[in-house]
Amino acid sequence: MRFVRRQFIIPDKAKCLGCYTCLATCTLVHKEAGAVPYPRMFLTPTAQGSVPLQCRQCDQAPCMEVCPVYAIEVQGAAVVLNEKKCVGCGICVLACPIGCIEIQAVRQAAATGVVLATSVLLPLILSEQDEKKMRKVAVKCDLCYFRPEGPACVKVCPTKALTLVNEEDIRLLNLQRRQAYASLIGS
Amino acid sequence: MADPRHTEMAARADIWLRVPVGQNIPLVNGMMHILIRDGLINTVRVNQMATGFDALAASLAEWTPERVEMMTGIPQADLQAAAHLYGNAPTAAILYCMGVTQFAHGTAAVLALANLAIITGHLGRPGSGVFPLRGQNNIQGTGDMGCLPDFLPGYMHVSRSQDQTRFKHVWGVKPPSKPGIRATEISEAIMQGKIRALYVFGANPVLSEPDSGYLRKALERLDLLVVQDIFLTETARLAKVVLPAACAAEKDGTFTNTERRVQRVRMAVPPPGDARPDWWIFSELARKMGSSALSYRSPEEIWEEMRLLIPEKFGGVSYKRLDDGSGLLWPCPDETHPGTAVLYSNNVFITPSGKAQLKPVPLDPEQTSVGIVEKPDKNYPLVLTTGRRVYHYHTGTITRKEWVLNQIGPEELVEINPEDSHRRGIRNGDLVRVSTRRGSINARAWVTDRVPPGIIFMTFHFWEAPVNELTSRVRDPVCGIPELKASAANIERISSVEAQMMRRQKKERYMVNLEAPVKRQE
Amino acid sequence: MAAGNSPIVNRLQARPQPVFRQTLCIACGACAAACRAGALAMRPDLEKARVIWRFVPEACMGCGRCTRYCPTGAITIAPPEDELRPFKAVKETSFPLQKCSCCGHHYASALEIAHLATLVPDTFLNNCTACRRLRAARSLSLAYF
């Protein structure tokens, strides 16, 4: 059961420029927090422009329900993936309705605490021996739960295309829309 | 917005014209045809301001929208809407980039754009004009300072004797009177034995120049190659001498942007180790060669010399004025002049008659003024076009050293239309080999609608996939710009073993290890 | 499968070893991800559209980590005294891959998708993650707030 009000980040297609600042910040902030240094959002191109997509922090999170090692749990307003517990099986990736979890590879050193940046290129450049030293973990948005000032991407977006939404915002928006509709049929 | 690719700009455009690679001239000529046909041109004003309108109008008669649609596939309604939007607007600017210039007909395409701006009168007023968006922040500044084979500083042509005398007066030596060799012609000049020593600074031609396999052969033939850069580049691997330069944040001076605004740049951090600003290295080099001509003490002193030499452009641009305000736009002849924000505002042009010259840009397949030189054929059925992505810059000399950017853009992606990929059995994320007549590289495929069928897109950010091994040395006959935007190419799926093998070859050829010890010479 | 008297077999017999029930397996790869000895591996074979499961008994330490991570109980530990153990041992088998209904990419084991359909809403399960993101991005309206 979750008692904290639900929050998630929603992008605005009309405002996003596709500048990747959010992805860079996300990588940086998570590295500093000791997590795997990968962006937790995915810039997805559409006909009306690109948008960064990230986890919607579902209430009955499918990823949480299918994780065999119980590495995904609710922390505050976010569904957080414990990277130390994760075995990298990838079943959460398949369970995510919007495809916002991905398996990433980090060097084995990550297990001992030091996280090294790598790229998906490495398997090609490195030999098979080196590849075995790679550890795979699932990476997802955690709303920067370790940052008291809230998600870093929302703060840095130069066009304010990202909004952190909570249930109160949704309630107010609904109210506004109902009022607008009521005044429409009243006139 | 006209681009073959569905870019971020295209997603936001009111009208997006998917102009095929190399068909810019039909598009612009077609727009002018519509403007003249629909009477949106003030012919009296155009004739006051320019010569050659009648010849231009006659040449445009053949560019009917039907014909443009046949050639480019742009719907007539879209073309007409775009032409009317531009022609009817109170002010409108044309911004163009390398997608217009990097063709064998690049000069002709720019000429066509200039024609369009002149006949509509979108020139010489605030909010209008023709702006080339350059690849670097200070490319205008380097041109102003004479980093061109045929111009002295301030765009004084080397062959004009009256301009030469003033340089001779100040410098004490006579500057050359014949144009030098263009950057794109250097590789051939080396092969012909015309060049035996080359000094490269702030450039990485092994990754950025077309047909780099040929260029590499040429560079290996040199007696002396000196490379001066902030990091060891892929080119520096071939150099006899490498000089460490200071980066932009480590030096004083000015940058001039595309609107000709001269801006002050101040040192934020001192250069590390032995790194020095470029001007210091040049003057020290001159001193060691036994000349005192370049014995400057600061960038300001060099700038003062420019003010003295070209007073009509930079005379009023002093460091004191730059420090006080937010830059000055040249021409600015004296200290009281506010700078010229808009050129040709009095409709006087730098031609003998003072009027703009309209020149028809005809369809001339013989001179390749339209279309692309290397046409796709049976073996190479696709057109490879090159460019950049947002997260890396140029050959990655700076950005590939930054781990955050490498996490976001870790590898090269070949954009390919689903129509082309299905036929070849390529899936999103597959490893593919892209080959042209000059070589082959491998990268990962990105199956996307961003590119139209028949076109694949790659960037030149990654040494792992050096796309300029594939591009051709075909050049524009006027200015020598290479046709980087179009080469006939083939694409096929390969196994990861093959990819690994190819990657290993590229690693041997390009990889720079910054941690490796460097031999130092005093 | 002849259990001779070679020292390696003797050593193997002294340890508990996993027993694999192929009918229960959904080929999710959790066991391969969990195995620290490198005895269990899963590799896709895209040409045949199958994913290959492989077990190397010589490398197995008998730690039992795989059994804890298996979501369906397809791997259990058989004690050394189980005489039938060598006959139950499966060393290599393969499972079909699921094709994305949108882009045609093979993205997961088909059985894993079928298993997931019993746990979570199955409206999106036959698409790969990239296609799911595309759909999610397309369905976003232009401005919410």
pLDDT over threshold 50, residue C41: yes
- Between CA B258 and CA B185 the distance in angstroms is 25
Pairing relationship of beta strands B382-387 and B487-493 according to DSSP bridges = antiparallel
- Span C70-98, mean pLDDT? 76
- Nearest residue on chain A to C108, judged by CA atoms? A94
C112, B444, B99, B191 alpha-carbon torsion, rounded to 10°: 180
Q: Quick one: DSSP state of residue B461?
A: -
Q: Range with the lowest mean pLDDT among A46-50, B128-132, C77-81?
A: C77-81
How many Å apart are CA A112 and CA B85, to the nearest integer? Answer: 62
Tokens at B47, concatenated: 């004739």
Say how many CB pairs under 8 Å bridge A and C.
116
- Closest C-alpha to B426, from B436, B416, B435: B416
In Å, how far are B380, B433, B479, B486 from B375, measured between CA atoms?
9, 20, 22, 9
Spatial neighbors of C7 by CB under 8 A, at least 6 apart, are: none
Angle of helix B53-60 relative to helix B106-120, nearest 10 degrees?
A: 110
> A111 falls in which pLDDT band (50, 70, 90)?
very low
Give the sheet arrangement for strand B197-201, strand by strand: B197-201, B224-229, B241-244
Q: Does the pLDDT of residue C122 top 60, yes or no? A: yes
**B152/B168 Cα distance (integer angstroms):** 12
B392 three-state secondary structure: coil
Which of A28, A46, A121 lies nearest to residue B464, judging by beta carbons? A121
Band (pLDDT 50/70/90 cuts) for residue C69 is: confident
Pairing between β-strand A134-139 and β-strand A102-107 as defined by DSSP bridges: antiparallel
Give the amino acid at A67: C
Mean pLDDT of chain A: 81
Cβ-in-10-Å burial (0-12, 13-18, 19+) of B266 comes to: exposed
Which residues in C lie closer than 8 A to residue A137 (C-beta atoms)? none
Q: Say which range, A98-102, B397-401, B402-406, C13-17, has the weakest mean pLDDT.
A: C13-17
Residue B193 makes CB contacts below 8 A (sequence gap 6+) with none
Residue of B nearest to A127 (CA): B500
Q: Which of C69, C132, C137 has the CB atom closest to A68's CB atom?
A: C69
DSSP chain C: ----S-HHHHHHHTS-EEEE-TTT-----HHHHH-SSS-EEEEEETTTTEEEEEE-GGG-----HHHHH-SS--EEEEPTT-TTHHHH---EEEEEEEEPTTT--EEEEHHHHHHHHTTS--SSTTS-HHHHHHHHHHHS-S---
The per-residue pLDDT string of chain B (522 residues; one tens digit each, 9 = 90 and over) reads: 999 999 888 888 999 999 999 889 999 999 999 999 999 998 998 998 899 999 999 999 989 999 999 988 999 999 999 999 999 999 999 999 988 999 888 888 999 999 999 999 998 889 999 999 888 889 999 999 989 999 999 998 888 888 888 888 888 888 888 999 998 999 999 999 999 999 999 899 999 999 999 999 999 999 999 999 999 899 999 999 999 999 999 999 999 998 899 999 999 999 999 999 999 999 999 999 998 888 899 999 999 999 999 999 999 999 999 998 888 998 999 889 888 888 888 888 888 888 888 988 876 554 444 578 888 999 999 999 999 998 899 898 888 888 888 888 888 999 999 999 999 989 888 889 999 999 999 999 999 889 999 999 999 999 889 999 999 998 888 888 999 999 999 999 998 888 888 888 888 888 887 666 656 655
pTM of the predicted protein model: 0.86
Query: Helices marked H in A46-127 — which ranges?
Result: 62-66, 91-95, 122-125
> Which chains are adjacent to chain A, needing at least 3 Cβ pairs under 8 Å?
B, C
pLDDT at position B519 is: 60
Mean of pLDDT over chain C: 79
Looking at residue B170, its pLDDT comes to 87
Which residue, among A28, A38, A121, would best test binding to B if mutated, counting the most B CBs under 10 Å from its CB?
A: A121
Site from B426, B428, B431, B493 to mutate, C interface, most C CB atoms within 10 angstroms: B428
Token readout for B442 is 């491998």
> pLDDT exceeding 70 applies to what percent of chain C?
79
Find the mean pLDDT for residues C111-140: 87
pLDDT at A125: 39
Cβ distance A125 to B404 less than 8 Å, yes or no, reads no
What is the rounded distance in angstroms from the CA atom of residue A113 to the CA atom of residue A109? 7
Res. A23 pLDDT band, cuts 50 70 90: very high
Alpha-carbon distances of B385 from B132, B255, B382, B414, B457, rounded to whole Å: 19, 30, 10, 10, 5
Q: Write the DSSP symbol of residue A124.
A: H
Quote the pLDDT of residue C4.
46
* pLDDT for A127 beyond 60: no
pLDDT value of position B110: 92
User: End-to-end CA distance of chain C, in Å?
Assistant: 67
Q: Calculate Rg over the CA atoms of chain B.
A: 24
Report the alpha-carbon distance of residue B291 to residue B285 in Å, rounded.
Answer: 9
The residue with tokens 């911004």 is: B95
One-letter identity of residue B144: D
Q: Which residues of chain C make contact with A97, given a CB cutoff of 8 A? A: 120-121, 123-124, 132, 136
Q: Is the pLDDT of residue A158 over 50?
A: yes
- The CB-side HSE value for A45 (13 A sphere, CA atoms) comes to 16
Contacts of residue C105 in chain B, CB cutoff 8 Å?
Answer: 427-429
pLDDT attached to residue B27: 92
CA gap B100, B119 in Å, rounded = 20
Candidates B467, B457, B465; CA nearest to B417 is: B457
- Backbone φ/ψ region at B442: left (φ over 0), alpha (ψ -120 to 50), beta: beta
Residues of chain B in contact with residue A38, where contact means CB-CB under 8 angstroms, are 407
Q: Mind giving me the DSSP string for B285-327?
A: HHHHTT--TT--SSHHHHHHHHHHH-HHHHTT--HHHHHHTT-
Q: Which chain C residues touch A14 with a CB distance below 8 Å?
A: 142-143
b/e sequence A73-112, b meaning 16+ C-beta within 10 Å: ebeebbbbbbbeebbbbbbbbbbbbbbbbbbbbbbeebee
Residue A155: pLDDT above 60? yes
**pLDDT of A134:** 67
CA nearest B13: which of A47, A159, A160? A47
Residue C67 burial by CB count (10 A; 0-12/13-18/19+): exposed, middle or buried? middle
Please count the residues of chain C: 145
